[in-house]
Amino acid sequence: MEALGQHWVAGLIAGLFGLCVGSFANVVIYRSPREGLSVLRPARSFCPACRAPVAFQDNVPLLSWLILAGRCRSCRARISWRYPVVELLLGALFALAWWISPPVDALSTGRLLAGWLLVSACVAVTLIDLEHLIIPDVITYPVALAGLLLSAAFPALHAGHAGFRPDSPLASALVAALLGLLAGGGSLFLVGRLGNVFLRRKLEEAGVQDAMGWGDVKWMACAGTLLGALSVLSAILLGCFAGALAGIGMKLWARVRGRESPAGLPFGPFLSTGILIELLWPELAWRLIDGLIRPA
């Protein structure tokens, strides 16, 4: 009973840490798509409406938003609901990741850190791509680098992945991470090139240059450094399935309302959905495919 209580306390601390990461994620979501801003400059957070710097006491995750009733202290402009939602979401996901993989050894520690990194990036990528239709390099490049560093620091993270050899854990973990990078980015690059060939007319009618954006390619490449080759391909399949369901649903809804269906959807949110599902149920896509081919 005492051990269970300690586990819950540790999960709560992880959730509080997730709230803080969510506060930083809000900075990334707002600043990275906008010219003239960076994640580090200006150093202090500011109100998007009046540009007044946010005081320390008004920058406490979730609590400050509630105390200020969702408004800026200086100009009383409304603060978007997105800020507390992102903080709450990452707090919940960080606690869930801790509960699934408490850090008791190198493998579970690596999985926890990889999970925290990926869920943070997934939330940021989803909201940025939905609003701006881009996936900034300021997210993908650091995640790719962090993936390689985590692979070197925790080689057990890639135990069971293609390319990993127990007799040479460090070198083979980096090989597994690079294979994941190539599998994630290369597969989407190939799909995009084939889409340009077979969907050329539809792309021209929609005014779209490429069937697959480079941001999507980079996003799955960097995710592959942590997931490994088979798992990142599984995440892509799950993302494609989620995107197809969403596209069909939007077309049916548009038909019911007598409107034209949207020309296209940002793919980043669905790829992020596939990554999150893969983190919770590893290689789910392959299990489903195997079940269809060889039913019980």
- Over residues 49-104, the pLDDT tens digits come to 898 999 888 889 999 999 999 999 989 999 999 999 999 999 999 999 998 888 88
Residues 2 and 130 in one domain: no
Domain containing residue 11: 1-100
Mean pLDDT (the chain) is: 88
50 and 5 housed in the same domain: yes
Tokens found for residue 142? 């650091």
Q: What is the pLDDT of residue 3?
A: 59
Answer with the one of 45, 79, 100 that is the final residue of a domain: 100
**pLDDT tens digit string along 90-100?**
999 999 999 88
Q: Which among 229, 239, 230 has a CA at the least distance from the CA of 275?
A: 239
Of 38-42, 180-184, 254-258, the poorest mean pLDDT is in: 254-258
Together in a domain, 45 and 88: yes
| DSSP H helices in 133-168 | 137-153
Distance (Å, whole) CA 104 – CA 108: 6
Give the per-residue pLDDT at 25: 96
Same domain, 96 and 116: no
pLDDT of residue 48: 87
Higher pLDDT, residue 138 or 201: 138
| Higher-pLDDT residue of 207, 246 | 246
- If asked whether residues 66 and 112 sit together in one domain, one would say no
Q: Is residue 196 very low, low, confident or very high in pLDDT (cuts 50, 70, 90)?
A: confident
Give all strands (DSSP E) within the chain, no chain letters.
none
Where residue 166 falls among pLDDT bands split at 50, 70, 90? confident
pLDDT at 225 over 90: yes
pLDDT for 295: 58
Predicted TM-score (pTM) of the model is: 0.90
Please indicate, yes or no, whether residues 184 and 225 belong to a single structural domain of this protein. Answer: yes
Distance (Å, whole) CA 212 – CA 264 = 11
Q: Could you tell me which residues come within 8 angstroms of residue 130 by beta carbon, excluding any fewer than 6 positions away?
A: 266, 268, 269
User: Do residue 227 and residue 273 come from a single domain?
Assistant: yes
Point out the domain boundary residue: 42, 68, 100.
Answer: 100
Mean pLDDT along residues 183-199: 83
Residue 261's pLDDT band (cuts 50, 70, 90)? low
CB distance 47 to 74 below 8 Å = yes
Under the banding of pLDDT at 50, 70 and 90, the label for residue 45 is confident
93 and 196 share one domain: no
Residues 233, 148 share a domain: yes
Residues 95 and 145 placed together within one structural domain of the fold: no
The C-alpha atoms of residue 131 and residue 141 are separated, in whole angstroms, by 21
The total of structural domains in the chain comes to 2
Is there a single domain that holds both residue 114 and residue 85?
no
Task: Convert 210-245 to b/e letters by CB count within 10 Å (16 or more is b).
Answer: ebbbbbbbbbbbbbbbbbbbbbbbbbbbbbbbbbee
The residue-averaged pLDDT of 11-35 equals 94
Last residue of a domain, one of 100, 121, 145: 100
pLDDT value, residue 262 = 64
Regarding whether 138 and 237 lie in a shared domain, the answer is yes
